[in-house]
Amino acid sequence: MANRYSGFGLFRHALRYHENWQRAWRNPTPKTHYDVIIIGGGGHGLATAYYLASQHGITNIAVLEKGYLGGGNTGRNTTIVRSNYLWDESGQLYEHAMKLWEGLSEELNYNVMFSQRGVLNLGHTLQDMRNIERRVQSNRLNGIDSHVVTPDEIKKIVPIINIDNLRYPIMGSSWQPRAGVARHDAVAWGYARAADALGVDLLQETAVTGMRIEGGTIRGVETNRGFIGADRVGCVVAGNSGVLAGMAGLRLPLESHPLQAFVSEPLKPVLDTVVMSNHVHGYVNQSDKGDLVIGAGIDGYNGYGQRGSMPVIEHTAAAICEMFPMFRRVRMNRQWGGIVDTCPDACPIISKTPVDGLYFNCGWGTGGFKATPGSGHVFASTIANDSPHPLAAPFALDRFYSGALIDEHGAAGVAH
Ligand SMILES: Cc1cc2nc3c(=O)[nH]c(=O)nc-3n(C[C@H](O)[C@H](O)[C@H](O)COP(=O)(O)OP(=O)(O)OC[C@H]3O[C@@H](n4cnc5c(N)ncnc54)[C@H](O)[C@@H]3O)c2cc1C
């Protein structure tokens, strides 16, 4: 039974020198068989397990993670959360996630530090501004808070930004006030703790090495800890999705690319919103502990290394310095990469597969953190009912046969 976290509990633990905190989750021995196995202990996999247990009453579940929980893209991203996508299908999916974000800390009894500090997506050309206006109108039709703001209004929101003195002056921006950031590790840990409390087995250092499929139906998975049987298997492994699909004899329309980010030394508060520019290509926010969190475009080559190349860092730093000249003297502390799974239409795949009982949730590419609660919620429903959740249906694999692609390259925020 998980203890509830509260201010009073914190005080009580302080009196005992914080020596008796309960472990956040168990370290169970794998069972021989589960009703559902989720492969991938990132935010999406953990959220899927949590909603399967909390919404659908399926608790005989294991999450299999080859490393540690949240050690993939979930713990490596720049934490931007927004829902201002262009097309109805994606706008509605990301807005579904946004509504879940708004109550997530209370629901999980875990502070995920969701901070609705607003996101600006800057426009630097007339065509940028046309696209921004179109997207803002589309957002409004979907009930998503979205505005076009002028350079003067941008300067009021972010006084330190350089509006005019750039190669591509800032001509305006979209502005979503309900957007913001959340603490990425806390999202994984919060879902993990809540899922564990509902009986889900979280198996770390458990790598899936093969899939057992008999007569077109999944029977379980081979792992470094032996075979584990399952009636249904959900695969949520981001950049490794192509590898896992290969184990089931499937080919997915995905490419795996490195995507980098870096953080600076901590500064006093200077930036209380998120600024993104597709055109000069860099995005930045300031974390609660003061670091500038800076994101870039993908490295152009395919790869599975969780690092990236120097030219991307150089290009991004140049873009950030151009928009924020005062950051020129800031020192960078750390840099890293994740492996993102990009789809031809920059949209996810949430789908049944030709193998009975095998499901894939992937293709979130450079922008899946913001979708974590919504993705887990609709994927859990898809697995539990063996039928797509209405919000997930447009993102099924059959769109690559029908041609009904949902082109979100313009709203993706990171060039692919
Ligand atoms: C640098 C960077 C910046 C980003 N910035 C943002 C942002 O600002 N906003 C945003 O919305 N999105 C952002 N993203 C994208 C976002 O991080 C991802 O879309 C999202 O976190 C994917 O979550 P996930 O749970 O699907 O994947 P992951 O967190 O990667 O989890 C997948 C897990 O599967 C495990 N796994 C893989 N193979 C196996 C196997 N064979 N057996 C068992 N386990 C396995 C991995 O170890 C991993 O832990 C960014 C990504 C990166 C890399």
Confidence at 414, pLDDT banded by 50, 70, 90: low
pLDDT digits (tens, 9 = 90+) for 258-306: 999 999 999 999 999 999 999 888 999 999 999 999 998 899 999 998 8
Residue 136 belongs to a domain: yes
Give a yes or no: residue 164 inside a domain.
yes
The CA-atom distances, in angstroms, between 281 and each of 34, 161, 163, 275, 332 are: 45, 15, 15, 11, 18
Residue 416 has pLDDT above 60, yes or no: no
What is the atom index within ligand 1 of the atom nearest the CA of 75? 29
d(CA 54, CA 69): 20
**CA 367–ligand 1 middle distance (angstroms):** 10
Looking at per-residue pLDDT, the higher value among 416 and 343 belongs to 343
At 411 the pLDDT is 81
Q: What pLDDT digit, counting tens, does each position of 147-203 carry? A: 999 999 999 999 999 998 888 999 999 999 999 999 999 999 999 999 999 999 999
Per the structure, the count of domains in the chain is 1
DSSP state of 67: S
Specify the CATH number for the domain of residue 324. 3.30.9.10
Long-range CB contacts (within 8 A, 24+) of 212-220: 213/248, 213/249, 213/355, 213/358, 216/354, 216/355, 216/356, 217/355, 217/356, 217/357, 218/248, 218/355, 218/356, 218/357, 218/358, 220/33, 220/37
What pLDDT was estimated at residue 130? Answer: 97
The predicted pLDDT at position 412 comes to 76
Residue 232 lies in a domain: no
Annotate 98-167 with DSSP letters as a single string: HHHHHTHHHHHTS----B---EEEEE-SHHHHHHHHHHHHHHHHTT---EEE-HHHHHHH-TT---SSSS
**Ligand 1 centre and the CA of 13: distance in Å?**
33
Determine whether the shortest distance from the Cβ of 66 to ligand 1 is under 6 A.
yes
Ligand 1 centroid to residue 315 C-alpha, Å: 24
Q: Region of 330 please: left (phi>0), alpha (psi -120 to 50) or beta.
A: beta
Is residue 413 scored above 70 in pLDDT?
no
User: Pocket of ligand 1, candidates 366, 379, 395: which has the most ligand atoms within 8 Å of its Cβ, to mutate?
Assistant: 366
In this predicted structure, what is the pLDDT of residue 166? 86
Chain mean pLDDT for the chain:
96
Residue 106 included in any domain: no
* Residue 285 placed within a domain: yes
Asked, for residue 84, whether it belongs to a domain, the answer is no
Q: Note the pLDDT tens digit of each residue in 195-220.
A: 999 999 999 999 999 999 999 999 99
pLDDT recorded at residue 410: 82
Judged against a pLDDT cut of 70, whether residue 99 lies above it is answered with: yes
Position 125 pLDDT exceeds 70: yes
Residue 78 CB–ligand 1 contact under 6 Å: yes
Q: Domain of residue 131: give its range.
A: 116-179+256-342
Tell how far the Cα of 42 is from the centroid of ligand 1, in angstroms.
6
Q: Per the domain annotation, does 280 fall within a domain?
A: yes
Whole-number pLDDT of residue 97: 98
Q: What is the CA(329)–ligand 1 centre distance, in A?
A: 31
pLDDT, average across residues 386-407: 97
Average pLDDT over residues 235-258: 97
CA 156 to ligand 1 centroid distance, Å: 35
What are the structure tokens assigned to 58, written together? 């399926």
Which of 37, 48, 50, 73 to probe ligand 1 with, by most ligand atoms within 8 A of CB?
Answer: 73
Residue 150: inside a domain: yes
Mean pLDDT of the region 240-263: 97
